[in-house]
Amino acid sequence: MILLQRKLFNGYVLLIRASFLILLFGVLSFGRAFSILHIEISHFPIFITEIILLISLPLIIVKKNDSLRIPPLFLSIVAVYFLFGLFYSLRGILEENLFVLRDFTVLCGYTLFLLLSLICFDSVRPMKIFVSIIVTANLIALFIGEILVLGLHSFWFYDFISQAKTFQIGIVYGISSSFLLVFYNYFKNKVMRLFILGIVSANLYMFIIFGIRSLWVAVICLSVFLMLVSGIRSMWKTYLKVLVSFIFVSAALFYVDFIVFKSPQLDVLIGRSKGFIYAIPKLSQNSAFSNRPDTEKLDKLTSKNELQNNINPLISDPKNKSVSESGFEVNKTSPLNESNKSEFRKESERIGYDNIIWRKKVWCQTIKFVSGSYLFGRGFGLYPSYNVWGIQKLRGPFLDSNITPTHNYFLTVFYKMGFLGLSLFLVINIYVFLYTIRHLKKCNSEFVKHVLIGVLGALVFWHITALFFDVIDSPPTSILLWIFIGFIFAIIKLDKSVEA
């Protein structure tokens, strides 16, 4: 009987490990398109991220001793942060506000993925599988990115992948690039090095073509961070090789995208970039609490999804256009003619400008919303009534809720949990960086050292992107923060055990 129970338990553990890795592969490869998969129980949706977490709870409880692999001080801080969020959730549930479930899950509930990571990453093998999943997901994300840019609506998988948000795809490019750049000098095989250069170059090309300025900033910050941690001379040589590779890879992709398929995305990129440049000196001239006089017109031209995804070419002939939920609009029958390109670029320029003004308005109005509740915040399940364009009426706390995120994770935590919650959140992340950097100086394994630098770079990219997008509000990107933190503590503990 005991032997049977042991076999059943081992089978359960194996199921959880496999489910966890499949979840990672899904959210990294397909982003929102994968995370919105769900089952419904009495019209109550339970999404795949929550399903994996719920079936893993017994294992987390049984293997609670694995939490001892985390420094006690850090574990205490995370516990206080979790309980703070739990208090707000219980209060909201008593008030029959189901929106609190959404807020608690993405801000606090996903901290349980930290403990699940400690259980699943208990040896070198699953850690290597994890890194392999990241690189594989990068390849799939590159394919998806090309499908979206080219607008290949006839592709059989298009309805599914069109659910993916471009900034989420960009985050995968950044996370993978961090690991690939760090491991370039680790591998001595020339084929492997060429593979790394090719993937990183393709990622850089997609960063540019997407036209999302926040990702450009994240790339710069990641590059500087890796130079500071891995060594300026070593990374500088790698960057020069990437530059040479980028010239050839980007030229080939450019030819395919804009010469062969004649994608209109280049005009979007030019327009958005000009709009970004023009917006910088004019930010102080726009009131953060007033609507623009052309709000009604703008609403007809841009939807909420378009503003968030930053890629939405406007096509001159509405009969020949197709719109996906990802924000792409692509002419199926013919490219833009010269007479329309000027107007097309001007509209893209205006959208690039409006994206910045939109965020400024939202951020300022969020701060105004939390006025008088600076210490503890407004709690979960409450949202500002933004006086900006593109806002839609709330539909419900679950799928397609029409909730408008702040597009800044500091403000999200601050207005919901106040200075107290934000302080706890900041301490958690600062502690992780300092703890990891301190261990880098005494790593026993070169592999562990490279992995730690790679995951720290991934966190840098995550944090920079989260300053401008709804990264912490979106399950496929929110869970990555806690999974990476758990991964760090697991691999450091493993490295220390080798020393012992």
pLDDT tens per residue across span 91-110? 988 888 888 988 999 999 99
In-domain check, residue 382? no
* pLDDT reading at 380 higher than 70: yes
Alpha carbon distance 297, 306 (integer Å):
15
Q: Shortest CA distance to 278 belongs to which of 349, 229, 224, 328?
A: 349
Pairing of strands 44-47, 329-331: unpaired
* pLDDT reading at 412 higher than 80: yes
190-200 mean pLDDT: 95
pLDDT bucket at 157, cuts 50 / 70 / 90: confident
In-domain check, residue 156? yes
pLDDT of residue 327: 35
- Residue-wise pLDDT for 49-94, tens only, equals 999 999 999 999 998 887 777 889 999 999 999 999 999 999 988 8
312-324 mean pLDDT: 33
Task: List phi, psi (to 5°) of 95.
Answer: -90, 10
pLDDT bucket at 148, cuts 50 / 70 / 90: confident
Percent with pLDDT over 90 in the chain: 48
- Residue-wise pLDDT for 454-495, tens only, equals 999 999 999 999 999 989 998 899 999 999 999 999 999 888
- Top-confidence residue, 8 or 315: 8
pLDDT of residue 292: 44
- Top-confidence residue, 47 or 153: 47
* pLDDT reading at 10 higher than 60: yes
- Residue-wise pLDDT for 255-273, tens only, equals 988 888 877 766 666 665 5
Whether 155 contacts 324, CB under 8 Å: no
Q: Which of 369, 401, 430 is the last residue of a domain?
A: 369
438-454 mean pLDDT: 91
In-domain check, residue 61? yes
pLDDT of residue 304: 36
Instruction: Indicate if 201 and 272 belong to the same structural domain.
Output: no
Alpha carbon distance 15, 20 (integer Å):
8
pLDDT of residue 318: 31
Amino acid letter, residue 60: I
Task: List phi, psi (to 5°) of 357.
Answer: -65, -40
- Top-confidence residue, 444 or 262: 444
Instruction: Indicate if 185 and 309 belong to the same structural domain.
Output: no
In-domain check, residue 381? no
Give whichever of 20-24, 328-332, 369-373 has the largest mean pLDDT.
20-24
Instruction: Indicate if 169 and 58 belong to the same structural domain.
Output: yes
372: left (phi over 0), alpha (psi -120 to 50) or beta: left
Q: Which of 312, 335, 369 is the last residue of a domain?
A: 369
pLDDT of residue 306: 38
* pLDDT reading at 184 higher than 90: yes
pLDDT of residue 129: 93
pLDDT of residue 351: 58
Q: pTM for the whole thing?
A: 0.85
Instruction: Indicate if 269 and 237 belong to the same structural domain.
Output: no
Instruction: Indicate if 299 and 330 belong to the same structural domain.
Output: yes
Calculate Rg over the CA atoms of the chain.
23
Instruction: Indicate if 435 and 288 belong to the same structural domain.
Output: no
Q: Which residues contact 247 (CB under 8 A, 6 or more apart)?
A: none
pLDDT bucket at 122, cuts 50 / 70 / 90: confident
Q: Which residues contact 47 (CB under 8 A, 6 or more apart)?
A: 35, 36, 37, 38, 475
In-domain check, residue 220? yes
pLDDT of residue 445: 87
User: Of the given ranges (87-96, 245-254, 258-267, 322-331), which has the lowest mean pLDDT?
Assistant: 322-331
Instruction: Indicate if 118 and 86 belong to the same structural domain.
Output: yes
User: Of the given ranges (193-197, 333-337, 406-410, 471-475), which has the lowest mean pLDDT?
Assistant: 333-337
Instruction: Indicate if 265 and 229 belong to the same structural domain.
Output: no
pLDDT of residue 46: 87
| Domain span holding position 465 | 2-259+390-499
pLDDT of residue 196: 96
Alpha carbon distance 349, 270 (integer Å):
7
* pLDDT reading at 388 higher than 70: yes
Instruction: Indicate if 136 and 160 belong to the same structural domain.
Output: yes
What residue has token string 């209060």? 91
- Residue-wise pLDDT for 425-437, tens only, equals 999 999 999 999 9
Q: Which of 334, 369, 404 is the last residue of a domain?
A: 369
pLDDT bucket at 44, cuts 50 / 70 / 90: confident
Instruction: Indicate if 448 and 471 belong to the same structural domain.
Output: yes
Pairing of strands 38-41, 329-331: unpaired
Q: Shortest CA distance to 238 belongs to which of 464, 457, 466, 461?
A: 457
In-domain check, residue 423? yes
Instruction: Indicate if 312 and 232 belong to the same structural domain.
Output: no
- Residue-wise pLDDT for 274-315, tens only, equals 555 555 555 555 444 334 433 433 333 333 333 333 333 332
410-425 mean pLDDT: 95
**What is the total count of domains within the chain?**
2
In-domain check, residue 110? yes
Residue 336 tokens, joined: 């833009």
In-domain check, residue 383? no
**What integer best gives the mean pLDDT of the chain?**
82
pLDDT of residue 63: 86
Instruction: Indicate if 64 and 199 belong to the same structural domain.
Output: yes
Q: Which residues contact 280 (CB under 8 A, 6 or more apart)?
A: 356
pLDDT of residue 326: 32
